[in-house]
A and B are shown apart, each in its own frame.
Chain A
Amino acid sequence: MQLSPFTEEHDLLRKAVGEWVDTEIAPHLAEWEEKGDFPDDVFHRAGELGFLGLSFPESAGGQGGDYWAQVVFLEELGRVSQAISMVLSVQTDMATPPILEFGTQEQIDKWLKPAFRGELIGAIGITEPDTGSDVASIRTHAARDGDEWVLNGSKMYITNGARAHFITMVVRTGEPEEANPWAGISMFIVDTSLPGFTVSKKLEKAGMKMSDTALLYMEDVRLPADALLGVEGEGFRQIMWELQGERMGVSVFGVAGARAIVEEATKYARAREAFGRPIGEFQAVSHRLAEMATEVEAVQSLIYECCDLWNRGIYATEEIAMAKLAVGQLSNKVADEALQVFGGAGLVEGTSISRAWLGARIGRIGGGSDEVQRQILARIMGIG
């Protein structure tokens, strides 16, 4: 009985990613969070080191690894920062996979390969000011004009939106049909250097402050014909496909973050003394940490089962919705319990625990809220 999905090769990769994370990411996290920004160089270095296309085929400029290689990458990021995990996962699990899945060779050459090298930064554009979970209601639209498309509308809460070179975006190109509200949606690769594209606002958030989250405006942006990604009118199906990989990704780094918080709180409980002994010797504290560790292992087990399905090419919508929902709840609960263990130290700005507590809340909203996951599950269970 083989117990681990990771091979020696994965272990070597983990070492390499881990070293990069520990030396070039972790030391700067407090500063980046305070500034509400981080350097683009993070993308460049990750690309240089070959980390941005780990599970993509070599023919498309990737490293040719399996999904577990991507899992290693996300876990190593997840253990230090959910914010950095999110921005890099937007690149590797959200903006780029649809280009490989639905794109032409030209689109792969133009956008995907430089993205893997870290030269181009990508974002995924779904949400709008008036439309979040309800993707079918998007209003941003593109109208054909000769060979070109004219794009108008806005996108909201777009991670990497202020710095992205391209945005993999869902746009309306036709009217919804009564029987099929998902009709008339298409996907585009939007070049952000085109005239009419503006970053209207970099949003200030309560958590994950270092990641840039933007409100974007598109006014008569003229997209070339080859900006269309995949099939016109198939955008809804394509973005639903994208969301599976996105939810897998956030689940993987999410649970890695939860595990790290428990470990940090455990270490703290062993060192911090009160009433003459380490607080970890108090049964109330030790049992609380034991519970947290148990919840982490339970959710981790589910997520590895999901990763395994995903790696085998199985489109496991049910398991992925479960994983996304479970990890969002877990991260919040664990971060809150850990904050309690830290006491006053947990409330100080700039500590990893306070960052984790603030950042975890986003996990239950982004990438499809808790409620959306429940709705998906209810439908699959035949009750919704």
Chain B
Amino acid sequence: MSELEPLFREEHDAYRQAARLFVSNEIAPHVEEWERQRDFPRDLFEKVGGAGFFGAKFPEHWGGTGPDYAAEAVWIEELSRAGSYGTASDLGAHSQLAALYLDRFGDDDQKNRYLRPSIEGRLLGALGVTEPDAGSDVSAIKTWARRDGAEWILNGSKVYITNGARADYVVIAAGTSDDSGHEGITLFIVDTATPGFDRNRMKMIAWETSHTGELFLNDVRVPDANRLGDIGAGFRQIMANFQWERLMMSLGAVALAELSLETAIDYARERSAFGRPIIKFQVWQHRFADLAVRIRTGKALTYRALRHHIAFEDGVDVGREELVRLTSMAKLYTQRMAWQVADECVQVHGGAGALKEYPAQRYWRDARVGSIGGGTDDIMRNLIARTMGLGAA
């Protein structure tokens, strides 16, 4: 009998239990306070690392327990369900972006210095690609690295860098060739304590606990030993990792939407109007049913893309274009879905939907970021259209 291979095995159920317990002990009880303070303590990274939850996708040699991408997906789902998206995003930028770049493109010396302590949660990382004048269009970045003997001198600025305002190192994308663009970008591991490196924490209307930063590099000297991968390989490196980042965002959005819906249903059971709990009104029952369908559909698509990713990592020839297509679709579908679900969930709260006392408005604000970060909805549509033989010739 042929079957769809289950994404999660028995060991993943155990991992989920452990993750859920960790989140309910170490994160969930503090979420409201952290959100009020628009901050969360740095030592959460060490707790997560100490408990092993940064390790699932990394090899044992560097302190991980994998690579097991299904386990990593479990962690993302459980972490997202804590309901503090800004916190999850900082942890994600550290682990899914910076540390993953080191694992993929770093040499042993770099992995020893940066990857191992990142998995332990002692050293915090971020990824710096986006600039004030270059968002989705990565090839347009202006930050520049000039070689000076065994060092590089970096100048430029970065913006919207998740975890960037607190990170100990940032993987920075910089131009290294006159014919900038696709072949002219190189990655560097930049210690944020280096002279000439300045930053601000940005104040945003969403992801309020996150340390999203604006970075300024003014003659920052970086040893060539901190060049991550080959000169000119940066664009390809960034593109290669986008699939994983977008998958993680999809998993997170689905979990946020689930949480949002559960919270709204609980509220609708308690809140009465016209003499009965508002859950008794058929329009709300049906609306909730519709939302549940959209969430479940997004989840099915995300899991399908994740299956392809795992197969791809296992060396199965799934076709890179098919992986990009499904991942782009999952990202496009889930980010908007999560926000639309959260929007309806604010609606059921009525006036309370506008109150900070209830998390509904926060889920709604936080979900909105998803259609912008990690490649906008329109970029996803462009990518998908291209796989269909559509778009500009």
Contact = CB atoms under 8 A, between A and B. Distances in A.
Interface of A: 1-3, 5-7, 10, 66, 68, 266, 269-270, 277, 280-281, 283, 285-287, 289-291, 293-295, 297-299, 301-302, 304-305, 308, 311-312, 319, 322, 325-326, 371, 373-375, 377-378, 381, 383-384
B2 A383 contact: no
B297 interface: yes
A143 B289 CA distance: 40
Nearest to B316: A1
B392 A281 contact: yes
B381 A290 contact: yes
B1 A281 contact: no
A322 B296 contact: yes
B3 A291 contact: no
Given A3-B311, A301-B303, A311 B329 contact: no
5 contacts: A7-B2, A283-B391, A319-B296, A381-B288, A381-B292
B333 A308 contact: no
Interface string B303-345: 1100110110010101000000010010011000000000000
Interface of B: 1-5, 265, 268-269, 279, 282, 284-286, 288-290, 292-293, 296-298, 300-301, 303-304, 307-308, 310-311, 314, 316, 318, 326, 329, 332-333, 378, 380-382, 384-385, 388-393
Given A287-B378, A374-B289, A1 B391 contact: no
Contacts of A375: 285-286, 289
Given A269-B390, A374-B285, A301 B5 contact: no
Nearest to B261: A381
A322 B4 contact: no
B279 A1 contact: no
A371 B316 CA distance: 42
The majority secondary structure among interface residues of chain B is helix
B297 A299 contact: yes
A269 B388 CA distance: 11
A286 B385 contact: yes
A3 B390 contact: no
A293 B297 contact: no
A378 B293 CA distance: 11
B297 A302 contact: yes
Contacts of B298: 298
A286 B393 CA distance: 12
Nearest to B311: A1
Contacts of B329: 293-294, 297-298
A371 B1 CA distance: 35
B326 A297 contact: yes
Contacts of B5: 1-3
Contacts of A290: 332, 380-382, 384-385, 388, 390
Contacts of A287: 378, 381-382, 385
Nearest to A371: B286
Contacts of A68: 2
B260 to A, nearest CB: 14
A295 B384 CA distance: 12
* Residue among A5, A66, A294, A384 having the largest count of chain B Cβ atoms under 10 Å: A294
Given A281-B390, A281-B393, A301 B288 contact: no
Contacts of B326: 297
A375 B284 CA distance: 11
A5 B304 CA distance: 12
A283 B392 contact: yes
A266 B390 contact: yes
A2 B6 CA distance: 9
Nearest to B334: A298
Nearest to A299: B297
